[in-house]
Structure 1
């Protein structure tokens, strides 16, 4: 009788271990789903050109993946909730009544048509190396990154390019542009910092989001920049070269 009870107890113990192992998936109970956490939009493209997340969505765009297939999101001033799931290595996100299919990469999820807006948006897992905006720059954008300085200047009704300018001892100090990989540019005019503004590149032009001063930047074939600068008092055209160019 005792042998039968011992045998029965042993079978129950074995079955219990199998059940517990099966419930834990990998054998570790309470293991966090790898998709749970905050995902932040780090890149947006429309018609093959990079566009500002801020400009498209009115601010930052992020969503938080939660347990139980739930998700919360914020896009600019808009917030809400939705659902998520993973099927066949694809991330299914449903928000605002729209279902979107994302391609899963290393710490990124890429949606080709976010919210039916025709915009490709890449989200990176918060706190990972994938958050680095430099990873998503186009070849044209990478060519602009760096410090630029005026080499010559032209007045609106002047006699052509000049290598000197009233108010500065060195023509390089007349206009300096420092383009950063986070898509912001610091503008220095006549030795004084004017401000830092968002920038983007499209069709050979670099758009700087500043009304006063206004800066219209054309990327030349010889890897120089033509910058039309205007404010309440001045209007100049600068020819700029990269500070590290030979």
Structure 2
């Protein structure tokens, strides 16, 4: 009988040790992180990516450490766990570790694609486009009105007063352009350092200065250099 009691006592000690070991683990799948996440910003080769550039990525963290990751309509099951600072996702046997922010998760060099990608929980302030822009991009948001215009040689252009160009930049990296009162439509824009351009066939680019932007606009017939300032 004594041997039985000793055996049961040892089993009790082992169970207690295992329980304490489990309690001491810093990895969990905390319910506060559950939900759907959308990609809000990225960076690759020094270029900021937003909007349509990264719209194909999404993440859903479900209860019990399960979930799904979607990359351009291809969804895969994942498992996940977190500690106080990081969240680890396992996708097809590959571990991906991200840094936890306020309603965000940021993955560096995600899936060895050479791209950093930030996800934000749907419905939170972090998911709003204007809250995820680099400072330089954020400074572009608003209406820019031209105040002067010259030709490629820097000479005034006869018949033009200089206020013919208006550009209205939005947080989703679209810009509405008006030239000589004509609506030229909405276009995608991007920045590379202090230089910006449209991402389509309309030939407009600009250099950023402390008090404004110098815009080069060319057509098949003409080349204009506008100086624009941001409207209050």
Give the TM-score of the pair, scaled to structure 2.
0.76
CA–CA distance in 2 between the matches of 1:137 and 1:163?
A: 39
Please point out which of 51, 62, 67 is paired with 2:58: 62
Asked if structure 2 preserves the Cα contact closer than 8 Å seen for 1:44 and 1:53, the reply is no
Shift in CA distance, 95/191, structure 1 to aligned 2, threshold 3 Å: farther
What is the CA distance between 1:38 and its match in structure 2? 0.7
Q: TM-score of the superposition, structure 1-length normalised?
A: 0.72
Residue 198 of structure 1 and its aligned partner are, at CA, apart by 2.3
Correspondence for 1:116:
112
5 Å-filtered alignment, 1:93-132, equals 93-95=89-91, 97-132=93-128
Mapped to 2, the partners of 1:81 and 1:96 lie a distance apart of 8
Q: Which runs of 5+ in 2 are unaligned?
A: 1-29
Question: Is the 1:163–1:171 contact (alpha carbons within 8 Å) kept by the matching residues of 2?
Answer: no
Pairing of 1:60-209 with structure 2 (within 5 A): 60-95=56-91, 97-156=93-152, 160-162=155-157, 164-165=159-160, 171-172=162-163, 174-209=164-199
CA distance in 1, matches of 2:223, 2:81: 55
**Structure 1 residues 96-134: Cα deviation after superposition (integer angstroms, max 9, x where no partner):** 553211111221111122121232211110011111222
Deviation at 1:148, TM superposition (A): 0.6
SS in 1 for 2:33: coil
- Give the RMSD, CA atoms, in angstroms: 2.5
**Does structure 2 retain, via aligned residues, the 8 Å contact 1:229–1:237?**
yes
Question: Paired residue for 1:42?
Answer: 40
Q: In structure 2, do the counterparts of structure 1 residues 80 and 137 end up closer, same or farther at CA, with 3 Å as the change threshold? A: same
Gaps of 5+ in 1: 1-31
Which among 211, 236, 243 is matched to residue 224 of structure 2? 236
After superposition, give the CA deviation of every residue in 1:140-160 in whole Å (9 maximum; x if it has no partner). 22322221111122234x661
Separation (CA, whole Å) in 2 of partners of 1:66 and 1:75: 17
- Taking the aligned partners of 1:143 and 1:78, their CA distance within structure 2 comes to 35
Query: Aligned residues, how many?
Result: 203
- Tell whether the 8 Å contact from 1:52 to 1:200 is kept in structure 2 after alignment: no
